[in-house]
Amino acid sequence: MSAPGVEALLAALPQPAALLDAAGALVAANAGFRRGLGGVRPWLPGEALLARLPEAEAALAAALAGQAGRVLPPQGGVLTLRPAPPGVLLLWHPPGVEQAERLATLGRLAGGVAHDFNNLLGVILGAAVALRRLAPGEAAQEELAAIEAAAGRGAALVRQMLAFARQQVLAPRRVALNETVREALTLLPRLLGPGIVIETELEEPARHVRVDPNEWSRVIINLAVNAREAMGGRGRLRLSTGRALLLGGEPEGQGLPPGRYVTLEVADDGPGIPPEIRDRIFEPFFTTRLEQGGTGLGLATVQGIVGQFGGGITVRCPPEGGTIFRILLPRDEGEEAAPAAPASSPAAAAQAPAGPLLLVDDDPLLLRVAALALRRAGHEVIACTEAEEALERLREGLRPALLVSDVAMPGLDGLDLARAAREILPGLPVLLLSGYSAAAIAGAPAREGFRLLAKPFAPEALCAAVTEALAGG
């Protein structure tokens, strides 16, 4: 087979692969192989495998003799050599592939559970607000406050689950990395206690990243608190920033695309993490502090948040002791964002298009609570429990001022409903309700001009989002 034909076959394989000739020299390789095992110097056709991987000599000899062999390359994972007369087929299994698939499955499960839980929390919050009007007594108000506080804690847990699943709703903006560290330093001394000495080493000039400042602060604080626990409440914590250039194939790159990155390292001088535990610390629900109330979601959440920002996190324990967590985030080369437009005035809201609100949610309880809140705010509401029913009403001539729809629904989902509604009524304002991030639903809200309100939400937040959508179109 010709070299172009071999390259086409390798390109169709889902994993990094290459073909060697009978002399052990490279004939062709797919992009995944070149990117993962090529490193800084490109792996060129005709180059001998043993020139790159001398440790593969025995495995290569076995494969040329008709038996499969394996070798552990410096980049990690396993390189399998299989007979492919007259040459040898190389298949690289990158590190953590099986674990990544397992965690992806768990992430999808967590996202689904979080969606249903968000609906329950929305009902609880809405009902509590409604009851405040009906039970004005002080004792009743205290009990309702307790219900709302419990729902708030539940919402925080849902955010953790969605962060692990990389489906959390974020509000990223351009910030200077060093400034985010300095802001965290205003909180860390009180959180960590007097036994922890905090040191910083911040590279100047400051580089910028695009993150959600609140969630990024959680990442820093979580790593710092973990370090305090590892040091037993006494020791040194160092926060340092820097930069990195990934060319592809670096082990610390964790499969991140080549480019310019900014780094944050959180290092402690504790005893380090035992090797048998180190490979599991990012697994959800894995904890060594079960008796102390550990949930095992902390580092899994950190990894999920960093992943949503387009970055990666690694951990290493130097021989001299201690633990170093290193985060890489894509460097933001853009310009400062323009100032946000001022909020719509009441006069602008009064000029909003006339007509009812078309409210769609497959959860009858949440639909009832949302409709009640909007009607109390003075809106006419037409409520539907199915997207198909709402679409039929539009085809029959309904002309709403705004479509308010849940995203995840059986059958026709909220995104497809919004698109179909826009075909009937071009320019129809749309407000989508979802516990998933815009990225998790393919970025459609921003790209297609749909607004997005994160679940769970209080009735006041829903009414405010509706007013803004009506005013903004």
Give the per-residue pLDDT at 235.
93
Grouping H, G, I as helix, E, B as strand and the rest as coil, residue 82 is strand
Whether pLDDT at 346 is above 50: no
Give the per-residue pLDDT at 442.
43
Q: Per residue, what are the HEC states of 58-77?
A: HHHHHHHCCCCEEECCCCCC
What are the angstrom distances between the C-alpha of 444 and each of 221, 253, 260, 344, 400?
32, 29, 27, 24, 22
Give the per-residue pLDDT at 138.
73
Residue 188 · residue 217 · CB < 8 Å: no
Cα within 13 Å of Cα(50), Cβ side: 9
Give the per-residue pLDDT at 143.
74
Q: How far is CA 108 from the centre of its chain?
A: 12
**What is the rounded CA–CA span in Å between residue 251 and residue 37?**
10
Please tell me which residue, 255 or 434, carries the higher pLDDT value: 434
Give the per-residue pLDDT at 101.
53
Buried-exposed string 244-274: b where 16+ CB fall within 10 A, e elsewhere = bebebbbeebbebeebebbbbbbbbbbebbe
The most confident of the ranges 256-265, 429-438, 451-460 is 256-265
Single-letter amino acid code for the residue at 174: R
Grouping H, G, I as helix, E, B as strand and the rest as coil, residue 18 is strand
Residue 202 · residue 181 · CB < 8 Å: yes
pLDDT in tens, 422-437: 999 999 999 998 765 4
Whether pLDDT at 388 is above 80: yes
Whether pLDDT at 205 is above 60: yes
Give the per-residue pLDDT at 96.
57
Q: How far is CA 65 from the centre of its chain?
A: 46
Superfamily of domain 346-472: Response regulator (3.40.50.2300)
**What is the rounded CA–CA span in Å between residue 442 and residue 132?**
38
Give the per-residue pLDDT at 214.
77
User: pLDDT band for position 333 (50/70/90)?
Assistant: confident
Give the per-residue pLDDT at 342.
39
Give the per-residue pLDDT at 171.
64
What percent of the chain is modeled with pLDDT above 70? 77
User: pLDDT band for position 467 (50/70/90)?
Assistant: very high
Please tell me which residue, 135 or 235, carries the higher pLDDT value: 235
Range in 297-301, 317-321, 336-340, 375-379 with the lowest mean pLDDT: 336-340
Average pLDDT over residues 45-71: 89
Whether pLDDT at 265 is above 50: yes
**What is the rounded CA–CA span in Å between residue 240 and residue 238?**
6
Whether pLDDT at 345 is above 50: no
**What is the rounded CA–CA span in Å between residue 437 and residue 135?**
36
Fold of 173-330: Heat Shock Protein 90 (3.30.565)
Please tell me which residue, 257 or 352, carries the higher pLDDT value: 257
* 8 contact partners, CB below 8 Å, separation of at least 6: none
User: At CB < 8 A and 24+ separation, what contacts does 458-462 make?
Assistant: 458/125, 458/126, 458/129, 459/125, 459/126, 459/129, 459/130, 459/369, 459/370, 459/372, 459/373, 459/376, 460/129, 460/373, 462/370, 462/373, 462/374
Give the per-residue pLDDT at 417.
94
User: pLDDT band for position 159 (50/70/90)?
Assistant: low
Average pLDDT over the chain, rounded to an integer: 79
Give the per-residue pLDDT at 440.
44
Range in 267-281, 284-298, 311-325 with the lowest mean pLDDT: 284-298
User: pLDDT band for position 60 (50/70/90)?
Assistant: very high
Give domain 3-93's CATH architecture: 2-Layer Sandwich (3.30)
* 183 contact partners, CB below 8 Å, separation of at least 6: 213, 217
Range in 30-44, 79-93, 251-265, 321-335 with the lowest mean pLDDT: 30-44
Query: How many C-beta neighbours within 10 Å does residue 420 have?
Result: 16
Average pLDDT over residues 116-121: 72
Range in 280-294, 307-321, 324-338, 367-381 with the lowest mean pLDDT: 280-294
Residue ranges covered by each domain of the chain:
3-93, 97-164, 173-330, 346-472
What is the CA angle 272-331-74, rounded to 5? Answer: 50
- DSSP conformation class of 231: T
Range in 26-40, 69-83, 140-154, 287-301 with the lowest mean pLDDT: 287-301
